[in-house]
Structure 1
Amino acid sequence: MENIAVIGAGTMGNGIAHTFAQFGYNVNLIDISQTALEKGLKTISKNLDRMVSKERITEEKKNETLNKIKLFTDLKEGVRNVELIVEAATENIDLKLKIFKDIDEFSNKNTVLATNTSSISITQIAAATSKPDKVIGMHFMNPVPIMKLVEIIRGYNTTDEVMETIVDLTKKINKVPVEVNDYPGFVANRILMPMINESIETLYNGVAGVAEIDTVMKLGMAHPMGPLQLADFIGLDVCLSILNVMYDGFKNPKYAPCPLLVNMVMAGKLGVKSGEGFYDYSESRKAEKVAKMFS
């Protein structure tokens, strides 16, 4: 594989594009919004600058990486003549099924179709295509350029050849592939999301405050980030979507989203992306923090 298309220029999509390009692959980054594409490329450039400043890569390597990425708003044009397509759109089943139906039509018959879904059935997504044997899950972790793990999820019809190809490719971009089976939430989110949900329940029930809950988990369980702060970084809407997928899939009340999470999402408090979640990420709050540093 030399040519890869990545669908979605958001946090996960631009991170996946960055990683493949850094390892020498030609990447077509696709999004319906030109603004989102430009923002995604700017993010990649900033992250590469950070790597240059830490002497992890050279300025020349940064420029080579950026030159490997081409931007497309036309899906048909973007997926033409690539060997792998990685879908990294919003965690919405209807949207993903539509995308896979389209890329199945627009791509070559031998192109492998991968999804970065964090919870949705690979088999269900594959059923929207005429080649379910070539559909597979590649669940990258955020931030993609740094995190080593990639969950590799085999759908019901995924062939051994496709599985081996993607496992090998994952190793070539210096990631660690872990093969898991196609059940709601896979492994990472089946374990993580109930913990986050229980943390929100703990807050909802008045057991402790946000900072206190996160501090207990950081200092007591050696987590680098508390679960409520992590939820903010993931996106509370994404957390809610994943919990709903698992609740629908298992019909088990332990996966039912906490009412506080539901209300926060309805109120538009989605975490970092909206400027407010369990913590305040607004510009005014940033200015306040800076002011305190110099007071």
Structure 2
Amino acid sequence: MSEIIIEPIENYGLTITSESKKKQLFSKIGVVGAGKEGRTIINMAATAGMEVIFLDESQERIDFVMRELKKVMDHKISSWGLTSSEKKIIMNRITPTLQYEDFKGCDLVIECTRYSESGRRSTPVRKNIFKRLEEILDEDAIIASNGSTVIISELAADLDHKERCVSLYFPVSHPDARILEIVSGMYTSEEVYHKMEIFARLIKYKPHRINESNGNVSLRMLVVMINEACQILLERVSSIEDIEETFTIIYGQRYGIFRMADIIGIERLVTLMEAMFNDFGAKHYKPNPILWKLYRSNQLGVRTGKGFYIYDEDGNPVSINKNIV
């Protein structure tokens, strides 16, 4: 009988080694709160191949979120941007929960609590979320907040592992706005920042490094333009329609400046601009009287169906709001 030759099977790549067992970074992430911004993040991460756990306050909210996610994907299917089988695969990566414990094993959890009717988010509530997450997550897991105000250092201040905390901001959510503002706070480590650069690229966004500053870069520029457009309108120099065309045609923007304000939400803009005015003391951040008029009359943009424009049930503009000035 010929001698049996035995060679290590590892040479042929057929065994599972400790190296191959190592979990891929951002294979599983979590999202706390699934409002409009939270749903956008859930959708993007699941589409990029990540397992996503999201938490909301009730089963009714969870059912609503799942319907909204399916609605967005159905729209993509109707416009040939997605197939039915791809939708099924993406939805299978999304798991809702009512329990923080289900975030165990996540590489990253993003806090996306919804804004109140006044356009604010509760700092004590958000700090409590961060503390709950720290109790559950591994020490090297990242805890992030989705927002555009100076807050991440305050949210991280009471944690044992402050260096793991970072803030993210996704400017106006449409397919071409693929810049992710990554805000490093006073405690954020370089390692965490570089990991977030990887996350940005995994979801096909370009990372921009931001040092903590109210409004980051995108909103600091935008609110000044919105204020000036409102002043031009207030002085009756031009009409809403012509100001919008100036912004879109001459400067090549996707949306008009007033339409942009409605998408972001008048209540959020007024709150942010007041915070920026208090921080910087610069008059150009002070909300224009037109913004205050809309804010006080609860005409807040797409969310309420009326702002600078009047919207249908699907959030599509149907006419200019003629009662602004």
Report the TM-score, using the length of structure 2 for normalisation: 0.81
Q: Distance in 1 between matches of 2:268 and 2:301?
A: 10
Equivalent residue number for residue 71 of structure 2? 46
Equivalent residue number for residue 270 of structure 2? 240
1:183-262 pair list within 5 angstroms: 183-262=213-292
Read off the aligned partner of 2:107 and give its amino acid letter: E
Q: 1:52 to 1:287 in 2, by over 3 A?
A: closer
Contact map agreement 1:48 1:62 (CA 8 A) in 2: yes
Report SS of the residue matched to 1:142.
Answer: coil
Equivalent residue number for residue 149 of structure 2? 119
Q: 1:182 to 1:283 in 2, by over 3 A?
A: closer
Gap runs ≥5 in structure 2: 1-25, 320-325
Q: Say whether 1:92 aligns with 2:114.
A: no
| Structure with larger Rg | 2
Q: Say whether 1:137 aligns with 2:167.
A: yes
Q: Say whether 1:180 aligns with 2:204.
A: no
Q: 1:98 to 1:252 in 2, by over 3 A?
A: farther
Q: 1:92-116: CA deviations, max 9, x gaps?
A: 2524334323333443332201111
Q: Distance in 1 between matches of 2:69 and 2:52?
A: 13
| Greater RCO (CA < 8 Å, at least 6 residues apart) | 1
Q: Distance in 2 between matches of 1:225 and 1:31?
A: 31
Gap runs ≥5 in structure 1: 290-295
Read off the aligned partner of 1:233 and give its amino acid letter: I
Q: 1:209-240: CA deviations, max 9, x gaps?
A: 32232122122222221111111111111111
Q: Distance in 1 between matches of 2:242 and 2:161?
A: 50
Equivalent residue number for residue 82 of structure 1? 106
271-280 or 108-117: bigger deviation: 108-117
Contact map agreement 2:146 2:168 (CA 8 A) in 1: yes
Contact map agreement 1:204 1:260 (CA 8 A) in 2: yes
Q: Say whether 1:68 aligns with 2:93.
A: yes
Q: Say whether 1:151 aligns with 2:181.
A: yes
Identify the match of residue 36 of structure 2 among 1, 11, 16: 11
Q: Distance in 1 between matches of 2:314 and 2:95?
A: 35
Q: Paired residues, what number?
A: 288
Read off the aligned partner of 1:59 and give its amino acid letter: S
Contact map agreement 2:171 2:218 (CA 8 A) in 1: no
Q: CA deviation at 1:128?
A: 4.2
Q: Distance in 2 between matches of 1:9 and 1:287?
A: 24
Report SS of the residue matched to 2:309.
Answer: coil
Contact map agreement 1:120 1:245 (CA 8 A) in 2: no
Whose helix proportion is higher, 1 or 2? Answer: 1
